[in-house]
Structure 1
Amino acid sequence: MTASLDEKLTIKARKVVGGKAAGEALVTRQTISGWGGINERDGSIIERLHELHGQSFAGKVLVFPGAKGSSGWSAFFHMTRLNGVAPMAMIFTRMTTKIALGAVVTRVPSVTDCDRDPLEAIATGDWVEVDADAGTVTVTRRS
Structure 2
Amino acid sequence: MTVNIKCRKISRGKAQGEVILSNNPLSFLGGVDPKTGNVIDRGHQLYQQNISDKILVIPSGKGSTVGSYVIFQMAKNKTAPLAIIAIEAEPIIATGAIMASIPMVDHPEEDIFEILSNGDLVEVDADAQIIKLEQ
SS in structure 1 at match of 2:132: strand
**What does the per-residue CA deviation read over 1:12-49, in whole Å, with 9 as the maximum and x for residues that have no partner?**
01111111110000000011111110000011100001
SS in structure 2 at match of 1:80: helix
Q: List runs of 5+ in structure 2 lacking aligned partners.
A: none
The residue aligned with 2:101 is 107
The residue aligned with 1:96 is 90
Contact 2:13 2:102 in 1 (8 A): yes
Contact 2:29 2:67 in 1 (8 A): yes
For 1:8 and 1:125, locate their aligned partners in 2 and report how far apart those are by CA, in whole Å: 16
- TM-score normalised by structure 1 residue count: 0.90
User: What does residue range 29-108 of structure 1 map to in structure 2 within 5 Å?
Assistant: 29-108=23-102
Rg larger for: 1
**What does the per-residue CA deviation read over 1:70-122, in whole Å, with 9 as the maximum and x for residues that have no partner?**
11111111110010011011100112211221211221111011101222221
For 2:89 and 2:19, locate their aligned partners in 1 and report how far apart those are by CA, in whole Å: 20
**RMSD between aligned residues:** 1.1
Aligned residues: 135
For 1:110 and 1:35, locate their aligned partners in 2 and report how far apart those are by CA, in whole Å: 18
The residue aligned with 1:4 is none
Q: List runs of 5+ in structure 1 lacking aligned partners.
A: 1-6
The more displaced of 52-61 and 94-103 is 94-103
Letter in 1 for 2:86: F
Letter in 2 for 1:59: D
Q: Percentage identity across aligned positions?
A: 36
SS in structure 2 at match of 1:138: strand
The residue aligned with 1:133 is 127
Contact 1:91 1:118 in 2 (8 A): no
